[in-house]
Amino acid sequence: MSPAYGPCMPPSSPVPYGSWPTPVTSALVVRAAARLGEVAVDAGSPGHPDVWWSESRPGEGGRSALVRRSADGTVTDVLPPPWNARTRVHEYGGAAWAVAGGTLWFTHFDDQRLYRLSPGDDGPVAVTPEPELPAGVRYADLTPTADGSLLAVRETHAASGAAADVVNEVVRLAPDGTAEVLVSGPDFVSDPRPGPGGELAWLQWDHPAMPWDAAQLVVRAADGTDTVVAGGAGESAVQPTWDADGALWFCCDRTDVWALWRWRPGGEAELVLDTGTEIAGPQWVFGARRFALLPGGRVVAAAGGDGGDRLVVLGPDGSTSEVRLPGWTALRYLTAAGDGVVCAAGSPAREPVVLRADLTGRAHVLRPARDLGLDPAWFSVPEDVTFPTEERGTGIAEAHAVVYPPTNPEVSAPEGDRPPLVVMVHGGPTSAHARGLDLEIQYFTSRGFCVAHVDYRGSTGHGRRYRDALQGRWGVVDLDDVVACARYLADAGRVDPARMAIRGGSAGGYTTLAALTLRPGVFTAGASHFGVADLGALAADTHKFESRYLDGLVAPWPAGAEVYAQRSPITRVSALDTPLAVFQGAEDRVVPPEQAEVLVAALRERGVPHAYLLFEGEQHGFRRAENIRAALDGELSFYAQVWGFDLPAEEGIAPIEVVR
């Protein structure tokens, strides 16, 4: 640890907020910062419960590497560069790989073909043919079966390239790549899971619903009869999981929160565990797991709530108990491992690790986080805040945020000064703030910023009623809530009302831009990362998964074109007089760069101070280390220039060009 950044240095003379020197640099944010993905236990290897996980590595061009920890503790990179286990199904991907009995199946990002790697092979072997079209055929949600075949979601793109011509199906792939279509017809399918008696379970939904709106759980019996177990209009099912006794477990939000349900053939679905808080989350990507079935009829689930996740254990007699894992508050990808679980775990003070835990609360780290070389005193401790907001016919007049106060153990601010505020807006918009350590947040708080991450109405984690409050109101209640949060903190004397910024990516970028154009006069700066500027353009030209998303959030398209125009920042650019930084990927299919360029042209024409960085090779979200750094440092430099504070000279941050 550098002496300059030890835990007990006495405070120096006061330093203005925003100018605080910090070891949390953009280089630290991306240095070896492999983003932990899915975790799996190879239960198909008797006596050898190898643990596998994926890592997205910015330092390697953002590729998704696969890592195996053998029973003897040996850790091995299974796929060397340039192999990249990542799928583009739904554009967001997930579940691009699966392992059973030591054999790995995976989708390679560059060509979206399926490959197999068996013990003793010299390298991956292609299972599916080369694509005939640029978009071709994609595979996700891979599930190996006992007979050596593979269940998968197959997404086929036509020569037209139109979203309407994309076909999603459940297929069974033989070892030689021969495909048998099992489910076809619904607009979307996911989670193909074979049952112990020859059954098949899967999820399906149709436009204009999203999976969290109305995903149905369907079971096909061995005789070919299909039964809708749960889901449909007004409720959503997720994560079907078969037990060895023939029972099917899943989560459903019929009671408002995603709770745990069970179904047996010939019966009705029954609620078995409702913690009052969400167990599951929105199905943006394939393969999410928030509960696991253990031996002896026990079930363990990760339940959210204030303060983060905890494990809830359901016994075979219906009794429940709670297991706290000290220091771990963000749990993902729960997988059964003997009498315990393996999962990805994080906290506000620690980056994600792969963790093995038993049901007494004892835990063992299998894949440690990187050593940041920082004392925990550098990390801002989050506070849950609930604040009043406009009701707007939703029946809900309050919203939620997680607030991170400025934190730096080595400096203090001038007496009477108040910190600048950065309101962060999550993407989605059907998403929520994650509670693990986010070095981008600490990048700002350790410099003297207060950060508020707003879970506006429409966010997940607070039940279906809260989530549905955004239906028909995107661009209205989310703006109410980000504005109300900023004013709430300013009125409480916690932040400087003259230095309040809003920033977000994707859907969060839309709320950022809309807040500046439709609610001017509150924020004095903004930063849009691949944000939506034109709702109509997004509705008319995006990928299949989200092509009808806005029908629910805004209005049916194109019948509701007038509503889209009213809520689109690009049509209200005459009201935009707030300095704005724009960051965009050149190959983004979710939010095409044309939207950013139209917005920037309007800013230039009006003479509004702005900055624009376009990153070649990036898609929806930045994965390359150099681009992540450029966007983060560029945003900080932008705030420094428009608010008039100095950056620490020792960091050597190159000023971003601000066009005035």
Which amino acid does the sequence have at 304?
G
For 390-448, the pLDDT digits (tens) are: 999 999 999 999 999 999 999 999 999 999 999 999 988 999 998 889 999 999 999 99
Which range has the worst mean pLDDT, 57-66, 338-347, 505-514?
A: 57-66
For 506-531, the pLDDT digits (tens) are: 899 999 999 999 999 999 999 999 99
For 227-240, the pLDDT digits (tens) are: 999 999 999 999 99
Residue 178 makes CB contacts below 8 A (sequence gap 6+) with: none
- The more confident residue out of 193 and 361 is 193
User: Does residue 117 lie in a domain region?
Assistant: yes
The pLDDT of 280-309, averaged and rounded, is 93
* Domain termination site, one of 185, 219, 253: 185
Predicted confidence band of residue 30 (pLDDT cuts 50, 70, 90): confident
Residue 384 makes CB contacts below 8 A (sequence gap 6+) with: 306, 307, 400, 401, 402
Answer whether residue 48 shows pLDDT above 70. Answer: no
What pLDDT, on the 0 to 100 scale, is given for residue 2?
34
The pLDDT of 241-245, averaged and rounded, is 96
User: Does residue 611 lie in a domain region?
Assistant: yes
DSSP for 404-456, written as a single string: E----TT--PPTT----EEEEE-SSSS-----S--HHHHHHHTTT-EEEEEE-
* Domain termination site, one of 185, 214, 249: 185
Report d(CA 549, CA 510) in Å as an integer. 14
The CATH code of the domain that includes 120 is: 2.120.10.30
In SS3 terms, 332-368 reads as: EEEEEECCEEEEEEEECCEEEEEEEECCCCCEEEEEC
Domain span at residue 147 reads 38-185
Angstrom distances, CA of residue 72 to CA of 68, 98, 120 = 11, 21, 19
In which element (H, E) is residue 73 found?
A: none
pLDDT above 70: percentage of residues in the chain: 97
For 538-556, the pLDDT digits (tens) are: 898 888 999 999 999 999 9
What pLDDT, on the 0 to 100 scale, is given for residue 44?
61
Task: State the total domains in the chain.
Answer: 2
N-to-C CA span, the chain: 42
User: Does residue 14 lie in a domain region?
Assistant: no
User: Does residue 209 lie in a domain region?
Assistant: no
For 142-178, the pLDDT digits (tens) are: 999 999 999 999 999 998 889 999 999 999 999 989 9
CA geometry: angle 170, 90, 78, nearest 5 deg: 80
User: Does residue 305 lie in a domain region?
Assistant: no
Number of residues assigned to the chain = 660
What pLDDT, on the 0 to 100 scale, is given for residue 7?
44
Give this prediction's pTM: 0.92
Answer whether residue 4 shows pLDDT above 50. Answer: no
For 604-658, the pLDDT digits (tens) are: 988 999 999 999 999 888 878 899 999 999 999 999 999 999 998 888 899 999 9
Answer whether residue 451 shows pLDDT above 80. Answer: yes
User: Does residue 565 lie in a domain region?
Assistant: yes
User: Does residue 536 lie in a domain region?
Assistant: yes
pLDDT above 90: percentage of residues in the chain: 78
User: Does residue 244 lie in a domain region?
Assistant: no
Which amino acid does the sequence have at 396?
I
- At residue 55, the 3 state secondary structure works out as strand
* Domain termination site, one of 128, 154, 185: 185
What pLDDT, on the 0 to 100 scale, is given for residue 46?
53
